[in-house]
Each structure stands twice: as C-alpha cells, then as structure tokens.
Structure 1
Amino acid sequence: MNREEKKLETKNRILEAAMCLFAEHGFEATTVAQITEAAGVAKGTFFNYFKTKEEVRGKLDKLVAIDELINLKDKPGPYAPRFLALVKTLGDSMAVNHSMLLLSIQGMLANNQNIEESKEGFCFIIDSLVPIFEKGQQTGEFTTTIPALTMAHITMQIYMGVMLTWVMGMSEESFGDQLLISFQVFFEGILKK
C-alpha cells in the first residue's frame, strides 16, 4: 500500500468510527477522543485530517447526499420531486450547526490542496447528476433544449450559492427551505412544458 492509499484508508477509518459513534451516542455526546480510539489512531492523527468533529459530520453528510444521488438515478421518474425532497432533507440536516457550514466553506477554500479535493468531489457529484437529468429528458420530464451536463453544473452552482448566502446570514429561511425554494425555481425552468 503506497502512502496516498494509506492516508485514504486512515481517513476512512476515522469517518467510519465517527459515523458509528454519532449513530450510537449522538453527535454532541461523541468526543474526538472516542473517535480516535474507535478508529485506532492517535488524537494528533485525527487533526491531520479534520479540524473539528463538526468537519467530520459535514463530510459524512456530503457522503450520504452523494449516495442518495447515486441511488436516485436507479429509480424511475419523476425526478424533480425526489430531488427536491433530497435537497430539503440534506439542507435541514446540515443546518443544525451554522458554524459547521461556515467551517465547511472555509475548509474547501483553505489551500490549493483543499480546493483540488473539493473540485474532485464536485465533479463526482456533477457526474452523478448527469444520468438523472438524461433519464428525465428521455422520459419527457425535463426539457431537451438544455444539455444534461449544463443542468448538473447549474445544480452545483445553486447549492454552493445558497450555502454561501445562508452562512452569510443573507436569508431568513432555513437552509433546507432556501435550498428547496431555489431548486423549485430551477426545476420550474427545466421541466418540459
């Protein structure tokens, strides 16, 4: 196993341990020390990968959302209502801790390595969205005048824009509600009339 594979394996062990402990004891009751013990790593190792346990929870929320997106493409349409329910649930779960979202944004932009990792994650999400929009176009749910790839990119832009404006306090709506409203407008524009 090379160095990069070992780093990824360690990071995944930390995430898996945190996920199990959050499910068993709840987020607030779980400590970094418990996570590191369950993952079999030193406390310093934890902080090589994550600044806070809130950052771990943010990463787990994103992984769950990606899994949900991947599963969405295997289900029959209509896709718009399912997608709207997914973004509302994701937004509600992530908005529990305002500072966690702020840390997530700061972490994404902290340095070139984080920016590259974030871009890779976004590209993966975009690649997962394209088949959903293509299937929606094939079934007549979505317009064919806008390429599926463009729809996927706009989806990511809406998500990031809503997250940024919500963290900055520019919306009185909850994060989940703001995502829902924004994506309702988006789907109104791409639904086949």
Structure 2
Amino acid sequence: MNREDKKRLTRQNVLNAAIELFAEQSYEATTITQITERAGIAKGTFFNYFANKEDLICDIQVIWAVEEVRRIKEQPGLLIPHIRYLIMQIDKFHASRQLMLAVNQGIISSPKAIRNQLEQIDELVKALTEVIEEGQRRGEFTSSLPAAMICEIAIQTYLGTRLYWSMGRGDSNLGTQMVVTFELFFKSIMA
C-alpha cells in the first residue's frame, strides 16, 4: 500500500470511528481521545487529518450528503421532493447553534481546513450536478443555466443559511430554516 492510500485509509478509519461513537453516545459526549482509540491511531495523528472535532463533523456531514445526493438521481418521478427531504435531514447533524457556529469557525480556521472543506464541496458539487442534469433531462429544472452553476449557487445558499442560522437568526430549527430558504431557490431553477 502506498503512502497516499495509507493516508486515505487512516482518515476513513477516523471518520468511521467517529460516526460509530457519535451514534452510540452523541457528538457532545465523544472525545477526540475516544475517536483515536477506536480508530487505533495516536492522538497526534488525528490532527494530521482534522483541526478539531468540529472539522470532523463537517466532513461526516458532507460525506453523508454526497451519498444521499447520489441516491436521489435514481429516484423515479420528481427530484425536488427528495432534495427537500435531504435538506430537512441536515438538522440531525447540528443540534445547536453553538455547535454550528463552532463548525463554521472550524472549517475556516486554517488554509488546510479550508482546502479540505473545498475538496469535500467539490465532491458534493459533482454528485449534485448529476442530479440537476437528470432533472434538466426530465424537464423538471431549467436548462437556461448550466447544472454546475445551479449547484454552486445551491452550495452558496446552504452555507449562507447555515452561517446566518448559527449567528442566532431565523427559525429555531436548522432543517426548517433550510427548507424555507431553499423554497425560493427551487422556484428559481424549476422549468
């Protein structure tokens, strides 16, 4: 196994360990030490991959979103109801505004964290572009804008809403705030 493969495998082991622990005992109750012990790595190794626990949860959220978006493309009928449902599920990752604010701070805490977040966003844009292209083929979404542009605007809308909400504005539930915000977005991209 080459060095890059080993790094990917270690990173994935950390993510898997964190997902298991978050499911077992919650995000708040899980420590970095518990994650590294479960992943079988030294605590210092964790920081080669993630700046903090907030950085980790952000990656988990994006990985989950990419998997869910890929499933949407294969759904029969209209795609928007599936996308709405996905947006509502976002709230399950972030129970509080304080946690979301910490996540937002974590993803812009360093050039490395920003690069990592942009790589994750690129994966999400690729998956979402395929869904938008499928929606354009089905006649559900406008073809007057390139699918990739629609995806970039969707990500901007999501990140802006998340930041706005984490600063104490909008609905008390992040998922509801996202749905309300995205209604206008959906109207703008429908055929």
TM band (smaller chain): 0.7 to 0.9
Q: Matched residue pairs, number?
A: 191
Query: 2 CA distance for matches of 1:120 and 1:32?
Result: 23
Unaligned runs of 5+ in 1: none
One-letter identity of the residue aligned with 1:43? K
Q: How does 1:37-116 map to 2 (within 5 A)?
A: 37-90=37-90, 92-116=91-115
Deviation at 1:58, TM superposition (A): 3.1
- Counterpart of 1:25 in structure 2 is 25
| Partner of residue 140, structure 2 | 141
Tell me, in whole angstroms, the C-alpha distance in 2 between the residues paired with 1:58 and 1:147. 27
Quote the offset at 1:136 in angstroms: 1.0
* Matched-pair contact (CA < 8 Å) for 1:58–1:100: no
Q: What CA distance in whole angstroms lies between the structure 1 residues aligned with 2:45 and 2:10?
A: 9
Check conservation: 2:66, 2:124, Cα contact below 8 A.
yes
Q: Which residue of 1 aligns with 2:158?
A: 159
Give CA deviations for 1:4-46 in whole Å, capped at 9, x if unaligned: 4433322221111121222233434433332222111122322
Question: Could you tell me how far apart the structure 2 residues matched to 1:53 and 1:120 are?
Answer: 18
> Once the 2 structures are TM-superposed, how far is the Cα of residue 2 of structure 1 from its aligned partner?
4.4
* Distance in 2 (alpha carbons) for counterparts of 1:164 and 1:125: 18
Question: How big is each residue's C-alpha offset from its partner over 1:56-109, in whole Å with a ceiling of 9 and x where there is no partner?
Answer: 33322221111101111122231111101101111x113303233222222222
Q: Distance in 2 between matches of 1:24 and 1:88?
A: 22
Q: Deviations over 1:112-131 (max 9, x none)?
A: 22222222221221111111
> Residue 171 of structure 1: SS of its match in structure 2?
coil
- TM-score, with normalisation over the residues of structure 1? 0.87
CA distance in 1, matches of 2:94, 2:21: 20
Distance in 1 (alpha carbons) for counterparts of 2:29 and 2:177: 29
Q: Distance in 1 between matches of 2:115 and 2:33?
A: 29
Contact 1:55 1:100 (C-alpha < 8 Å) held by counterparts: no
Q: Distance in 2 between matches of 1:53 and 1:112?
A: 17
Unaligned regions of 5+ residues in structure 2, if any?
none
After superposition, the Cα gap between the structure-2 partners of 1:51 and 1:144, relative to the gap in structure 1 and judged at 3 Å, is closer
Residue type of the alignment partner of 1:147: P
- Normalised by the length of structure 2, the TM-score is 0.88
2:93 is aligned with what amino acid?
Answer: M
Change (3 A) 1:22 1:113: closer
Judge which range, 181-190 or 170-179, deviates more: 170-179
